Amino acid sequence: MRSFEDNYRQKGLRRKLIEHLKEKGIKSHAVLDAMLKIPRHLFLDKAFEEWAYKDFAFPIDCDQTISQPFTVARQSELMDIRPKDKVLEIGLGSGYQACVLHNLEAKVYSIERHKTLHDKTSHRLKGLGYSSIRTFYGDGFQGLPLLAPFDKILITAACDEIPEILISQLKEDGFIIFPYGKTNDSQIMTKITKLKNGVLKTEEFGLFRFVPMLKGKV
């Protein structure tokens, strides 16, 4: 079984990564502090561990990816987490993004459509002391209607359509952050806020590239 070691060298590399993210324009001290505390190398296959603190995405199980740190930081910054925010994450993946949200003091609920990946990540989170993150094996397109409404929702895969079912699970004045666009191209990081009387406000925050969000469970 893999050990959860986090040594001085890795902590030093993590501090360098945080400085890099500052230089790239991440301004939220809360987000940077949250990421500084997380041993990203433990969320990667050991084959990539040496490069864990480079600003790169890497493949993980089930043909998924762990996003590059800048993307994680930017999405987390846009989420503008307040303590005890009830947050739904679509796409648990490696669990790294969920841990960042948790360190920002959100109550995190995360869905993963791949059973193998869900189970492996759930085990990892418990081993790292993140057992309060609630994980679910299910279809992210459907959200978690029985646990709605949520203050905020984060989608960590590319959507080629507006996720109306998920928007319906937001509280009034809540918002959803997601990469919007065709999956064979870059997507626009999009924020939709649910205002009074069902009015939706849309904002855009630059281009990113994600794996596609797919329906169903596997």
138 by Cβ neighbours in 10 Å (0-12 / 13-18 / 19+) ranks as middle
Q: Does residue 216 lie within any of the structural domains? A: no
Task: Give exposure, 87-111, as e/b (b: 16+ Cβ within 10 Å).
Answer: bbbbbbbbbbbbbbbbbbebbbbbb
Q: Is the pLDDT of residue 76 over 60?
A: yes
Span 183-196, average pLDDT: 93
Q: Is the pLDDT of residue 189 over 80?
A: yes
* Residue 135 pLDDT class (50, 70, 90 cuts): very high
Length of the chain measured in residues: 218
Cα–Cα distance, 164 to 217 (Å, whole number): 19
Q: Is the pLDDT of residue 122 over 70?
A: yes
Q: Does residue 158 lie within any of the structural domains? A: yes
Q: Provide the token pair at 50.
A: 């040496």
* Residue 1 pLDDT class (50, 70, 90 cuts): very low
The model's pTM:
0.94
Q: What is the dihedral of CA 66, 71, 73, 77, to 10 degrees?
A: -130
Q: Does residue 2 lie within any of the structural domains? A: no
For 33, which DSSP code?
H
Domain with residue 124: its CATH number is 3.40.50.150
Average pLDDT of every residue of the chain:
95
123 near 134, Cβ under 8 Å?
no
Number of compact structural domains in the chain = 1
Q: Is the pLDDT of residue 193 over 50?
A: yes
Instruction: Provide the percentage of residues in the chain whose pLDDT is more than 70.
Output: 99
Active site residue 132: no
Residue range of the domain that includes 51: 8-208
Q: Is the pLDDT of residue 214 over 60?
A: yes
Q: Does residue 218 lie within any of the structural domains? A: no
Q: Does residue 213 lie within any of the structural domains? A: no
pLDDT at 77: 98
Q: Does residue 1 lie within any of the structural domains? A: no
Cα–Cα distance, 208 to 159 (Å, whole number): 12
Pairing of strands 65-66, 58-59: antiparallel
Span 75-90, average pLDDT: 98
Taking only the tens place, the pLDDT of each residue in 19-69 is 999 999 999 999 999 999 999 999 999 999 999 999 999 999 999 999 999
Pick the catalytic residue: 67, 76, 94, 110?
Answer: 67
Q: Does residue 214 lie within any of the structural domains? A: no
Q: Does residue 195 lie within any of the structural domains? A: yes
Span 152-167, average pLDDT: 96
Side chain identity, residue 52: A
Residue partners of 72: CB distance under 8 A and separation at least 6: 35, 96, 97, 100
pLDDT at 2: 56
* Residue 3 pLDDT class (50, 70, 90 cuts): low
